[in-house]
Chain A
Amino acid sequence: MMAPFFKFGFFGDNLGLVVAFLVGIGFGFFLERAGFGSARKLAAQFYLTDLRVFKVMFTAIVTAMLGVYYLSVLGVMDLSLVYLTPTFLAPQMVGGLVLGVGFVVGGYCPGTACVGVATGRIDALVLFLGIFAGIVGFNEFYPMVSGFYNATEMGQLTLPQVTGLPYGLLVFAVVLMALGGFVGAEWVEKRMAARKAEG
């Protein structure tokens, strides 16, 4: 075992911040290349004319998931040292719903808004101010919502633990689901293009 490098003490906090900056550059670069600096490209996902949000997200998830899985199977990486956000199922599902509505109303999510701002999108800049307002609003009313925010605490919980199925089998299932999704996405895009051509 030697990865994650930082957790094995190969370098300190300050160099970690340099790594953060470099990783961020890669993150922003590929988000922009994917078309995610444009709210119209992102919103097209929800009108089924361009499903690149689904395609990019699930290609990235599958790539990283397979990488992490094989590195841990090969004994290179100690997966227990990778930070896992604890599960609070109810607030996380409601938060997802609210964020999803915000996505189609605003046209960006927080990460893609950064790319939008960097490439000159005024609407992304305004959305940015909205995010700040939303966070301040949430924090100011926190004493009233803290009960729900801390409800249904389940600790660090993975799908293999929830289902009792082997990790490798679930990895395989997600790959199959993504491939099926990609085939479906290509089919939907073709149908929508044909419908548009017919008028």
Chain B
Amino acid sequence: MEAKPAQPYWNPYVAGFGLGLVLLTAFVVMGRGLGASGAFASTITAGLNAVAPGHVAANPAYAEYLKEGTTPLKDWLVFEVLGVFVGGFLSGLLAHRVTRTVEKGPRISTRNRLIFAFIGGALMGIGAKLARGCTSGQALTGGALLNAGSWGFMIMVFVGAYAFAYVMRRQWT
């Protein structure tokens, strides 16, 4: 727990510029962009492959994350997401924002907020699998490359969220 008050967040345009430079660095150095959901899929495949390798090999949705002669965890996105944890923690620590808390509006109980968090996460997992990427891999990365499918995806993310915002208003406002 931090005794010092949390510092204000950065100006969004400054933070966005920094984020854009990180993305550009990934393009220039590696020839690929950022991502997150792929790391989740690799981690699941590695875990399941340790206990039920036959089940993993028989299903192409898992098998595409298998690697010849090594673990699915030895993967670019897995290492990148480990970095996201470290970078997020460092930033939060320096700004006194690391706190054990539940983010929610004033009109919802903690229990219900956590139930919605789980349901929202499950929808995220399904959506990211269908779309072959999430907000990082499709919207941000594909958006900057003017990838056609990524722009279709990004528009629909905003459509889905705004269409459902009224239903979820008690959770946030």
Contact = CB atoms under 8 A, between A and B. Distances in A.
Interface of A: 3-7, 16-35, 37-41, 43-47, 52, 55-65, 67-68, 71, 77, 81-89, 91-124, 126-140, 142-143, 145-146, 148-149, 154, 157-162, 167, 170-171, 174, 182
A60 B20 contact: yes
A138 B146 contact: no
Contacts, number: 532
Contact of A123 (B19, B22, B104, B149): B104
12 contacts: A23-B30, A37-B88, A56-B13, A64-B33, A83-B31, A87-B148, A99-B123, A99-B131, A115-B84, A118-B88, A119-B88, A134-B128
Nearest to A127: B121
The secondary structure that dominates the A interface is helix
B76 A16 contact: yes
The secondary structure that dominates the B interface is helix
Contacts of B57: none
Given A37-B97, A85-B149, A106 B88 contact: no
A39 to B, nearest CB: 4
Contacts of B130: 91-92, 94-95, 98, 138, 145, 148-149
Q: Most chain-B Cβ atoms within 10 A of its Cβ — which of A99, A105, A154?
A: A99
Nearest to A114: B84
A196 B124 CA distance: 32
